[in-house]
Amino acid sequence: MKAIRFHQHGGPEVLRYEDAPTPQPGPGEVLVGLRAAALNHLDLFTRKGDVPKVPLPHIGGADGAGVVAANGPGATRYPAGTRVFFDPGLSDGTCDYCARGEHSLCERWEILGEHRDGTYAQAVVIPEVNLRPIPEGLSFEEAAAFPLVFLTAWRMVVSKARVLPGETVLILGIGGGVALAALQIAKHMGARVLVTSSSQEKLDRARAMGADVLINHKATDFSKEVWGITEYSDQLKQASDQITIERQLPLSPLGPGKYKLEITATDQLNNQKISKTAEFTVKAAPEVKAAAYTTPGR
Ligand SMILES: [Zn+2]
pLDDT tens-digit readout, 29-45: 999 999 999 999 999 99
Q: Is the pLDDT of residue 289 over 50?
A: no
Strand order in the sheet with 58-59: 15-19, 2-6, 58-59
Q: What pLDDT band is residue 294 in, cutting at 50, 70 and 90?
A: very low
Gap from CA of 71 to ligand 1 centroid (Å): 23
pLDDT digits (tens, 9 = 90+) for 66-121: 999 999 999 999 999 999 999 999 999 999 999 988 888 899 999 999 999 999 99
Per-residue b or e along 12-43, where b marks 16 or more CB atoms closer than 10 Å to that residue's CB: eebeeeeebebbebeeebbbbbbbbbbbbebb
Q: What pLDDT band is residue 292 in, cutting at 50, 70 and 90?
A: very low
Gap from CA of 101 to ligand 1 centroid (Å): 9
Gap from CA of 175 to ligand 1 centroid (Å): 32
Gap from CA of 105 to ligand 1 centroid (Å): 7
pLDDT of residue 74: 97
Q: Where are the alpha helices (DSSP H) in the chain?
A: 41-48, 96-99, 140-145, 147-154, 177-188, 200-208, 222-229, 233-242, 287-294
pLDDT of residue 161: 83
Residue in 30, 39, 43, 40 with CA at minimum distance from that of residue 83: 30
Taken in order 158, 195, 104, 41, is the CA torsion positive or negative?
Answer: positive
Q: What pLDDT band is residue 8 in, cutting at 50, 70 and 90?
A: very high
Residue 165: strand, helix, or coil: coil
pLDDT of residue 17: 98
Taking domain 152-220, whether its CATH number is 3.40.50.720 is answered by yes
- 79, 84, 87, 88: CA torsion to nearest 10: 100
Gap from CA of 63 to ligand 1 centroid (Å): 21
Gap from CA of 87 to ligand 1 centroid (Å): 15
Gap from CA of 110 to ligand 1 centroid (Å): 10
Gap from CA of 114 to ligand 1 centroid (Å): 17
pLDDT of residue 209: 95
pLDDT of residue 109: 93
pLDDT digits (tens, 9 = 90+) for 145-201: 999 999 999 988 888 888 888 888 889 899 889 999 999 999 999 988 999 999 999
Report how far residue 21's alpha carbon sits from residue 156's, in angstroms, rounded to the nearest whole number.
Answer: 37
Which contacts (CB < 8 Å, 24+ apart) does range 13-22 have?
14/47, 15/47, 20/57, 20/59, 20/117, 20/121, 22/122, 22/123
Residue spans of the domains in the chain: they are 2-143, 152-220, 228-294
Gap from CA of 102 to ligand 1 centroid (Å): 8
Gap from CA of 104 to ligand 1 centroid (Å): 8
Where in the chain does DSSP place strands (E)? 2-6, 15-19, 29-38, 58-59, 63-71, 83-86, 89-90, 110-111, 123-127, 131-133, 168-171, 192-197, 213-216, 243-248, 252-255, 258-267, 272-281
Gap from CA of 100 to ligand 1 centroid (Å): 9
Which CATH number applies to 2-143: 3.30.420.40, 3.90.180.10, 1.50.10.10, 3.90.1170.40?
3.90.180.10
Gap from CA of 199 to ligand 1 centroid (Å): 41
